[in-house]
Structures are given as C-alpha cells and as structure tokens.
Amino acid sequence: MRFAKLQGLLALVVPLMLAGPAMGQINPADLLPAEQAFAHESRLASDGKQIEFDWNIVDGYYLYRHAFHFDSLTDGLELGVAKIPPGAAYADEFFGDVEIYRGALRFSVPIDALPASGPLRLRLGFQGCADLGICYPPQRVELELERPAPATQPQADPAPGVGLLQQLGLGEAR
C-alpha cells in the first residue's frame, strides 16, 4: 500500500521535473516587443471615407483575425465594420478554429460619420502570438489621425484679354 502511494507520487512529480527544463527553454528575451512583432501604420484614406491599416508581421509571429477591435474616441466619429480579408485557417489550442495573419496585411475601416473638424482619435485592439508558443496579452493602441488640409478653390481666370487691356491702361479695373 505504501509502495502504491509512492508510485502515485512519483507519477506526478517525475513529469513535472522533466517538464521544468523544457518549459524553461522559452526565454522572454527571445520575444520581440509587441510593437515590433506586429508593426503597423494607419492613415486617413485620400477620399476621407475610410481609415487604412498596413501591418508588417515579423516571421515567426501571427495575429488573430477575431481579435481586431476599433473604437472611436472622437465625438461624431462613427466607424463601420472593418473590411479585413480572410486569414489562414489555424487550429488554436485555446481559441479553437480561427483565422490568422502572417507577413503583410492591409485592410480598411469605413467611416460612417465624420465630425466637422479636428483630428480623428480611435483605439485599435489586436492580439497575436509567437510560434515559440507564447501569446501576447490583448494590445490596445490609441491613434490620432490628422486630416489633410482642405483643398483651396482656385480663383476664376479673368475673361480673356482683360488682363492685357488693364496692363496697357486701356481697360477699367473691376
């Protein structure tokens, strides 16, 4: 009976002792900071009707499609549903069947309503993992996008010949 208890205890302790070194092989120093592993840029599209996102995901890392979130932090700014392309199918041990992205990713978020003036502030949420078996906590980044300066209306050209007549002193200034 005593031997059976010792065998049961050894059955629990030995795997833990063997797993310890294997688990210790992942060094946090081997992981890039999230902002480097999942580098991104955002900008207001030239038509002013959407926000464009470009991602550069480092080799050995991936982003989850389902983890993207976009929240307006500007009164009057209403965001539509993000136009994110389909990702690669992936069987995740925690989330089940998901879609992920590796390498380059580009997508947009439509703007349903826009305030009259001022910068556009929003919060971007995302989550990714390293192939080493470590997932980053959900990331939240606040973005501020400047609007392009409004285009000035060109002045109407004077009637043909009017400028020449005025230069010669033959026409009246209007």
Residue among 157, 124, 150, 151 at smallest CA distance from 138:
124
Number of domains in the chain: 1
Q: Residue 127's domain is classified under what CATH number? A: 2.60.40.1250
Q: What is the pLDDT of residue 164?
A: 54
Mapped onto helix, strand or coil, the DSSP state of residue 86 is coil
Flag whether 60 is in a domain: yes
In the block, residue with structure tokens 């009259």: 116
Please write the tens of the pLDDT for every residue from 50-81: 999 999 999 999 999 999 999 999 999 999 99
Contacts of 159 (CB under 8 A, 6+ apart): none
Flag whether 48 is in a domain: yes
Please answer whether residues 40 and 74 qualify as being in contact, where contact means their C-beta atoms are separated by less than 8 angstroms.
no
Q: What is the pLDDT of residue 52?
A: 98
Flag whether 170 is in a domain: no
Q: What is the pLDDT of residue 13?
A: 35
Question: Using CA atoms, how far apart are residues 133 and 129, in angstroms rounded to an integer?
Answer: 7
Q: What is the pLDDT of residue 112?
A: 97
Q: What is the pLDDT of residue 33?
A: 97
Residues of the chain with pLDDT under 70: 1-25, 149-174
Q: What is the pLDDT of residue 94?
A: 85
Q: Which helix (H) or strand (E) holds 34?
A: helix 34-37
Flag whether 68 is in a domain: yes
Flag whether 168 is in a domain: no
Flag whether 173 is in a domain: no
Average pLDDT over the chain reads 82
Flag whether 131 is in a domain: yes
Flag whether 107 is in a domain: yes
Query: Which residue range forms the structural domain that includes residue 106?
Result: 31-145
- The count of residues in the chain is 174
Give whole-number Cα distances, 143 to 43, 105, 120, 134, in Å.
Answer: 10, 18, 8, 26
